[in-house]
Amino acid sequence: MSLVCLNRSRSIRGDGGGTGSPSCVTAAQLHPACALAPTEPSATIRNHLTVALPALRSFARRYESLREVTRDNVLHVLPSDATRRKDVLFGLRSIFRVLKGRKMAFTNPTTGIRTSRLVGRTPLPLQVSDLRATLDPENPARSALAALLIFHGVRPRDLRNMRLVDIRDGRLHIDGRVVLLAPAVTARLAAWLDHRSNRWPRTANPHLFINVYTAIRTTEVSYVWVNDTLGIPAHRFREDRILDEIHASGGDIRRASDMFGLTIPPLLRYLATLNHPDLNGR
């Protein structure tokens, strides 16, 4: 099973060049046979390479070999968003660990680079214009994804894992909870299901959300697809919904805990925003 949705003969350049050269990294060379880490499941390995792929392609445009990549190069391609920065750094770190172990790189340029601390990061609301844009029914996939996030604050991983049978009788059955769907959500889900059945009438994929790659398989869509379809990281929508609930309820974290399936400690950072000078008018 390949690590990423790339043909194994293609290099990280994305143009098929450099095959057979030790200075180029192909999906075949990063196959589980040479394991990023012997104990890591294939899904974890695939996710590492997926999030790191834009950075690898950036390196390939500048260098003939990943041996030339320096610590400064890695710092330059890391996103400013703390969550994405952590994901990309972990992906690159795993890949360079393999290359060094196979003597395809002399050093690991990610060594010593730290990620930003996520604990204590103040959750901030999204712009209303951004929320409205993602709910535009012109794009059925985006509007259905956005509706589930904006109205019900579902977890991004639940969007990927959600199956057709999880939605019935106007309710979402997920993670041991039953959520009564808002009318705006059911309307957008119906539009997506119509689009899904018309475009892929013979797909055997049981997941609610599919795309051109997963329609011929039974796997879930990737985080990258979800975020790219939305145009904004999915976790930002969930944070916005939780933040809105905390402010609307006057800080009732017990209610928020029941609604979003969270324990009390993760909600404390939302509670701390009640007196935030930039959020008083929320």
Q: Taking residues 98-110, what's their average pLDDT? A: 84
Tens of pLDDT, residue by residue over 167-181, are 999 999 988 889 999
Residue of 1 and 204 predicted with greater confidence: 204
For residue 3, pLDDT over 70 is answered with no
Tens of pLDDT, residue by residue over 4-51, are 223 333 444 444 344 333 334 444 444 433 444 444 555 666 777 788
Count, in order, helices (H) and strands (E) of the chain.
11, 3
How far apart are the C-alpha atoms of 170 and 176, rounded to whole Å? 16
How far apart are the C-alpha atoms of 129 and 159, rounded to whole Å? 23
Q: Taking residues 61-79, what's their average pLDDT? A: 88
How far apart are the C-alpha atoms of 36 and 53, rounded to whole Å? 15
Q: Taking residues 236-250, what's their average pLDDT? A: 92
Query: Which residues partner with 174 through β-bridges?
Result: 177
Judge contact between 188 and 141, C-beta under 8 A.
no
pTM over 0.85: no
Q: What is the mean pLDDT of the chain?
A: 80
Domains of the chain: 1-118 (no CATH), 128-275 (1.10.443.10)
How far apart are the C-alpha atoms of 246 and 228, rounded to whole Å? 28
Judge contact between 149 and 237, C-beta under 8 A.
yes
Number of Cβ within a 10 Å radius of residue 39: 6
For residue 118, pLDDT over 90 is answered with no
Radius of gyration of the chain (CA): 21
